[in-house]
Chains A and B, each alone.
Chain A
Amino acid sequence: MADGDEPMAVDVGSSGDWDGRWSHVQKFLERSGPFTHPDFEASDETLQFLLETCKILVIGAGGLGCELLKNLALSGFRHIHVVDMDTIDVSNLNRQFLFRSKDVGRPKAEVAADFVNSRVPGCHVVPHFKKIQDFDESFYRQFHIIVCGLDSIIARRWMNGMLLSLLVYEDGVLDPSSIIPLIDGGTEGFKGNARVILPGMTACIDCTLELYPPQINFPMCTIASMPRLPEHCIEYVRILQWPKEKPFGDGVALDGDNPEHIQWVFQNSLERAAEFSITGVTYRLTQGVVKRIIPAVASTNAVIAAACATEVFKIATSAYIPLNNYLVFNDVDGLYTYTFEAERKENCSACSQVPQKLQFPPSAKLQEVLEYLTENSSLQMKSPAITATLEGKNKTLYLQTVASIEERTRPNLCKTLKELGLADGQELAVADVTTPQTVLFKLNFTS
C-alpha cells in the first residue's frame, strides 16, 4: 500500500488533539507581538479557553453559515450552536458546501452540524432547526459571541434588539459583562460586508438602517395599468391575477418553489407582456421576481465569512484589536475593500436611551402614524402594532398580524388621535417583527 493511503501515525493526546494540530493558532496566542490588543497576554491558557470553554452562536447555516462553521471549527472553536429555520434546496448547492444532493429537503442546521462534527474531530456543533424568535434571553445569554449570516434585515434587527435587551445598566452605567459582541455578515452577488457590533457601545444595526437599500416595489398603478418592463408584467400576475383566478384552488398561495406555480405565472406574464408589446419575460426572470432571488456565489460568501470568523477569533482571544467597525467588499472590478467606523445614531430607536417621539396634530388620523412608523427611514417598521393605556386599561389601537384583530381595529385608522382619546404626552407602545422588545413612543401634539 502506498504511503499516502495509510492514515498518519499520530500521537493523539488526551485532549484528542494530535501534535501540531493547532500550531497555526498557537502562534497568535502564545507569542507576544507589537500589534496585539492592549489586553492581550501571551499564554497557553487561551487555546484551552477556545477549545474547552468559549461558546459561539452561529445564526444561519446557509451561504455564510456553512463557511462560518468550517472557519470556526478549524480555528479551535469547539462549542458552537447553529440556528437555521430552513431546509436544503438544490439551488443552495453551488455554495453551501456542507450539503449534498442527497440532503435536499433536510434541515440545514442539522446537516451542517453533522458534517462538521464528523469531519473535525472534537468539534461539537449543536443544531437548532428553529427561528431565532423561538428563543428567548436565557438561550442567547449563554454565548460569548454571536455571529450572523442572515439573509433578512428584519431578522438582523430582531437579533440586534435581543442583544440590546440583555444589556444591564447600573446607575446609568453599562455593565460590560452584559455585552455579547455581534459579528454580522451579508452578501449579495459580488458584494458583501462584515461588521462588528458591541451592543450599547458601538453603532448597532438600527443606527445604520439607511445603509440598507430599500426593497424594489413597483407602484401599483404601473403594475395595474402601465407596465413597461417584463418585471411589471410578472408582478401583475403575482399580485393581481393569481389572487383573482386562484389557479390551484381556493386559499392556495403562490409558492415560488413550486415549478408548476412558476410555470403558470410565466405563461400569464408572457400574455400580459404581449398585450403591451413588452419583450424579455423568461422563466428565469419570472422565478427571480416571484422569489426575490438574489444572485449568489461561493467566493463572496467565503470572503465575508472569513472576515467575520477572523473577528470572532480576535474578540475571543484579544489577540488583536477588532475591526472598528464596518468592512465593505466588492470584487466586480478588481478587489475593493473599504473599512470605516459606522457611528452611533444619537436617537436610535433601538440602542439609544433617548425616548422616541411622535409629533402629530390631534386631528391627525391613526393611519398617518402608521405610515410614519413604516416609511420613516430610521424606523422602517414592517407591520407595527400600536397599543396605549386608556382609562387605566391597555388598549390595542391597531394590529395587523392577526386577521380578526386587524378587522376589529381597522376602523381606528380613520379616527383622529383626539377621537381615539389620546392625550398630549401619552405613551404609545409599538411592537413589530423588527424588534423583540416593544418600542415606547411619546406622543407630542403639535398645533
Chain B
Amino acid sequence: RIMADQKTNKEQRYDRQLRLWGDHGQEALENAHTCLLNATATGTEILKNLILPGIGAFTIVDGHRVTGEDNNITITVTHGGSSRAATEFLQELNSDVSGNFVEESPDKLLDNDPEFFHRFSLVIGVQLPESTCLRLGSVLWSAGVPFLVCRTYGLVGYMRLVVKEHTVVESHPDNALEDLRLDQPFTELKNHISTYDLDSMEKKDHSHTPWIVVVAKYLENWCNEHDLQVPKNYKEKEAFRQLIREGIRKNESGAPEEEENFDEAIKNVNTALNPTKISSAVDDIFNSEQCENITSQTAAFWLMARGVRDFVQNEGNGSLPVRGTIPDMIADSDKFISLQNVYREKALQDAAVVAKHIQSHLQAVGKVTYPFNAGGLPVSPLCKNAAFLRVVRCRSLAEEYSVDSFHKDTITSCMDSPDSEMVLYLMLRAVDRFYQQHSRYPGVYNYQVEEDISTLKLCVNSLLQEYSLNVNVKDDYVHEFCRYGAAEPHTVASFLGGAAAQEAIKLITHQFVPFNNTFIYNAMAQTSTTFQL
C-alpha cells in the first residue's frame, strides 16, 4: 500500500515531464549514474537540473577548496564549503537520488585509477583545463562512455559532446510529415476508399466524409486522366484543388453549400501529395556497416533497423512500415474511426512482419530473447518512429585537436563573418594555450588585464599558425577575453546548466536528438550556434 502511494507520489511529482519522455524514459533516467567533474556554479547547476527530474545517482569529483568566489546556490561560505556540502544540498533537492563525492582532482584520478570513470552512464566535465580534458576524453572514448564538456568563460558558454555513436528511435520530431500513402495507397486503403461513392451520398454523409477519403477519390479520377501521374507542380495542384472545389454540393440556387471537410481537403492538398519516401538520414542508417553486418554483438538499435530495412526491401516495396496515425479532421465518428482503423491495422500488420525479420536475425546469431532489452524497444514504437530514426556520431577530441584532422574548412568559412560564434571558439582555444604556458588564465586580476592582452594575442597567433588558419581574429575579442578574467557569471552558468542537463537527459533516455558536436552560447548578443568540429 505504501509502495502504491509512493508510486503515485512519484507520478504526481514527475507528471509534467512524464508527458514528454514517458514512463520508460523516466526509468532510463532513474537507472543512470552520472559523474560531474568540478562543482562550480556551472557544474552544480547542471546537476541540479538532473536531480530535479530524478536521475538515479550522481558522483561529484572535485579536488578544489571552496573560496569566497564560488557563487552557486549549493555552496555558500556561511554554510561551510566542500564537495560534501554541494552533494548534501543537491541530494536534498530530491530524496530519490543518491549522491556521492570524491575529493580528488580529475588529473590525480586519471593518474591512479582511470577505470574509475568506466562505471558511469555519462561523464560531465566542467571548467576543465585543456590537458585534463584531452586525457579524460581519450579514456572515455576507449571505454565508450559519453563525455559532455561544459565551460562558462565570461559571457561565453561552451559545450562539446563526445560520443562515438548514439542511436535514437524516439526522436519526437517537431514538424513530422503525416504518413498517408495517398500517392501509393496500400490495398486495404484502396478497398476502403472504394466503399465510398461521393456522388450518391446523402448531403450529411457527403459533408462528413474525412478529407483523406475526398482527396483519395479525386486523386483516382485525376490519375486516370493524367497517365497515372499525381499532380506535380503548382499549376497541376491548383487544378486539382479546383477539381475538389467543384465537388462541393450546391443548393437549389446553385451556390456552394458549407462543406468544411471539402475545405479541409483543398487546404491539405500539399500535405496529401507529399511523396512517400525515405529520408536520407534513415537511408544512411540502412546503409551503415552495423546494419549490414549483424552479429551476436550487434546492439538492439541496429537489429531493429535491419528488421525495418528488410521490410523496406521486401514486403514494403521500397517504403517503410505504415506509421498508422492520421491527423484529426472534420468527419462523423464512424467514418473517421473506420478510416483510422484501416491505417492502424496495416501498421500492426507491417510491425508483425518487421518483428519476424528481427527474430530471424536473432536466431541466425544464436540469440533467443525477444523482445530484447539493453536499450531495445518493443517493435511497435520502432515502426511508429521508423521515419525518424537518428544516429549521432561525434568526432573525438583527438580528431578535433589534431593538426591533421581538424576541420579547417568549417572554421575558415565560419570566420568569413568575423563576429560569428566561431571566433569565441578560437578565443577559448587561445586562453587554453595561455593557461598551458602561464598556469593561469588571462586577466584574472585587474593589474594583469593590460599586459595579458598582448600575451593573449601571441597565443591567438601561435594557435592560428599551428593550424595554418588564415583567419582574422579581431583585437576586440582578445581584449574582451582578458576582461573576462576567466569569470563564471552565474546567469551564464545557469543557461549552460539547463542546456547541458537536457543534452544529458537525451543521452540517457535515447529520446530527442543531442547536438553534434560543439555548441557556443554568446550571452552578449543572446545568440548561439552549433558546429561540427
Cβ–Cβ < 8 Å partners of B17 in chain A: 94, 295-297
Total number of B residues with any Cβ neighbor in A under 8 Å: 94
Complex: how many Å from CA A293 to CA B476? 47
8 Å CB contact of A310 from B103, B328, B526 = B526
A317 to chain B, nearest CB (A): 12
Complex: how many Å from CA A54 to CA B76? 23
* Residue B524 at the chain A interface, CB threshold 8 Å: yes
* Residue B72 at the chain A interface, CB threshold 8 Å: yes
Given that A295-B19, A309-B491, A333-B173 are known contacts, is A18 also in contact with B483, CB under 8 Å in the complex? no
Which has the most chain A C-beta neighbours within 10 Å: B69, B76, B491? Answer: B491
Cβ–Cβ < 8 Å partners of B45 in chain A: 302
* Residue A292 at the chain B interface, CB threshold 8 Å: no
Cβ–Cβ < 8 Å partners of A331 in chain B: 499, 502-503, 512
Q: Are A20 and B67 in contact (CB under 8 A)?
A: yes
* Residue B18 at the chain A interface, CB threshold 8 Å: yes
Q: Are A8 and B495 in contact (CB under 8 A)?
A: no
Q: Are A297 and B20 in contact (CB under 8 A)?
A: yes
* Residue B471 at the chain A interface, CB threshold 8 Å: no
Cβ–Cβ < 8 Å partners of A34 in chain B: 475-476, 479-480
Q: Are A28 and B527 in contact (CB under 8 A)?
A: no
Cβ–Cβ < 8 Å partners of A150 in chain B: none
Interface residues of B in 417-456 (CB under 8 A from A): 443, 446, 449
Complex: how many Å from CA A298 to CA B14? 11
Given that A8-B81, A94-B52 are known contacts, is A332 also in contact with B513, CB under 8 Å in the complex? yes
Complex: how many Å from CA A337 to CA B525? 11
Q: Are B490 and A334 in contact (CB under 8 A)?
A: no
Q: Are A18 and B77 in contact (CB under 8 A)?
A: yes
Given that A33-B483, A310-B491 are known contacts, is A299 also in contact with B502, CB under 8 Å in the complex? yes
* Residue B53 at the chain A interface, CB threshold 8 Å: yes
A417 to chain B, nearest CB (A): 27
Q: Per-residue 0/1 for B243-280: is the Cβ within 8 Å of any A Cβ (1 yes, 0 no)?
A: 00000000000000000000000000000000000000
Complex: how many Å from CA A222 to CA B45? 46
A30 closest partner in B (C-beta): B446
8 Å CB contact of A74 from B48, B71, B530 = B71
* Residue A408 at the chain B interface, CB threshold 8 Å: no
Complex: how many Å from CA A295 to CA B22? 11
Q: Are B526 and A323 in contact (CB under 8 A)?
A: yes
Complex: how many Å from CA A222 to CA B76? 58
Q: Are B515 and A334 in contact (CB under 8 A)?
A: yes
Interface residues of B in 474-518 (CB under 8 A from A): 475-476, 479-480, 483-485, 487-492, 494-495, 497-499, 501-503, 505, 512-516
Q: Are A293 and B19 in contact (CB under 8 A)?
A: yes
Cβ–Cβ < 8 Å partners of A439 in chain B: none
Q: Which of A224-232, A239-247, A367-375 contacts B (4 or more CB under 8 A)?
A: A224-232
Q: Are A27 and B526 in contact (CB under 8 A)?
A: no
Q: Are A298 and B492 in contact (CB under 8 A)?
A: no
Complex: how many Å from CA A226 to CA B328? 12
Q: Per-residue 0/1 for B35-71: is the Cβ within 8 Å of any A Cβ (1 yes, 0 no)?
A: 0000001000100110011100000000001111101
Q: Per-residue 0/1 for A203-234: is the Cβ within 8 Å of any B Cβ (1 yes, 0 no)?
A: 00000000000000000001000111100000
* Residue B164 at the chain A interface, CB threshold 8 Å: no
* Residue B288 at the chain A interface, CB threshold 8 Å: no
Q: Are B16 and A339 in contact (CB under 8 A)?
A: no
Q: Are A90 and B19 in contact (CB under 8 A)?
A: no
Q: Are A295 and B52 in contact (CB under 8 A)?
A: no
Complex: how many Å from CA A298 to CA B53? 7
Q: Are B499 and A21 in contact (CB under 8 A)?
A: no
* Residue A131 at the chain B interface, CB threshold 8 Å: no
* Residue B528 at the chain A interface, CB threshold 8 Å: yes
* Residue A266 at the chain B interface, CB threshold 8 Å: no
* Residue A436 at the chain B interface, CB threshold 8 Å: no
Q: Which of B108-116, B231-239, B332-340, B351-359 contacts A (4 or more CB under 8 A)?
A: B332-340
Complex: how many Å from CA A307 to CA B490? 11
Q: Are A23 and B333 in contact (CB under 8 A)?
A: no
* Residue B343 at the chain A interface, CB threshold 8 Å: no
Q: Per-residue 0/1 for A300-323: is the Cβ within 8 Å of any B Cβ (1 yes, 0 no)?
A: 111111110111010000001101
Q: Are A7 and B79 in contact (CB under 8 A)?
A: yes
Q: Which of A135-143, A276-284, A342-350 contacts B (4 or more CB under 8 A)?
A: A276-284
Given that A74-B71, A190-B512, A226-B333 are known contacts, is A7 also in contact with B80, CB under 8 Å in the complex? yes
* Residue A402 at the chain B interface, CB threshold 8 Å: no
Cβ–Cβ < 8 Å partners of B49 in chain A: 298-299, 302
Q: Are A302 and B18 in contact (CB under 8 A)?
A: no
Which has the most chain B C-beta neighbours within 10 Å: A27, A119, A227, A299? Answer: A299
Given that A10-B77, A190-B512 are known contacts, is A327 also in contact with B526, CB under 8 Å in the complex? yes
B95 closest partner in A (C-beta): A101
Given that A31-B449, A226-B208, A228-B331 are known contacts, is A288 also in contact with B526, CB under 8 Å in the complex? no
Cβ–Cβ < 8 Å partners of B505 in chain A: 299
A175 to chain B, nearest CB (A): 28
* Residue A67 at the chain B interface, CB threshold 8 Å: yes
Q: Are A299 and B494 in contact (CB under 8 A)?
A: no
* Residue B365 at the chain A interface, CB threshold 8 Å: no
* Residue A108 at the chain B interface, CB threshold 8 Å: no
* Residue B201 at the chain A interface, CB threshold 8 Å: no
Q: Are A228 and B328 in contact (CB under 8 A)?
A: yes
B173 to chain A, nearest CB (A): 7
Interface residues of A in 1-45 (CB under 8 A from B): 3-8, 10, 18-25, 27-28, 30-35
8 Å CB contact of A97 from B18, B52, B77, B483 = B52
Cβ–Cβ < 8 Å partners of A190 in chain B: 20, 502, 512
Cβ–Cβ < 8 Å partners of B485 in chain A: 27, 31
Q: Are A5 and B82 in contact (CB under 8 A)?
A: yes
Complex: how many Å from CA A20 to CA B515? 36
Q: Which 7 A-B pairs have the closest CB atoms?
A: A302-B498, A4-B82, A20-B68, A306-B495, A303-B498, A334-B515, A299-B502
Given contacts A91-B15, A296-B17, A339-B525, could you give 18 more A-B pairs where the C-beta distance is less than 8 Å? A4-B85, A6-B80, A8-B66, A8-B77, A18-B68, A21-B69, A22-B71, A24-B71, A31-B485, A94-B15, A119-B76, A222-B330, A294-B16, A298-B49, A300-B498, A310-B495, A320-B524, A339-B526
10 contacts between A and B (CB under 8 A): A4-B81, A5-B84, A7-B80, A34-B480, A35-B480, A91-B12, A94-B15, A299-B499, A306-B494, A331-B502
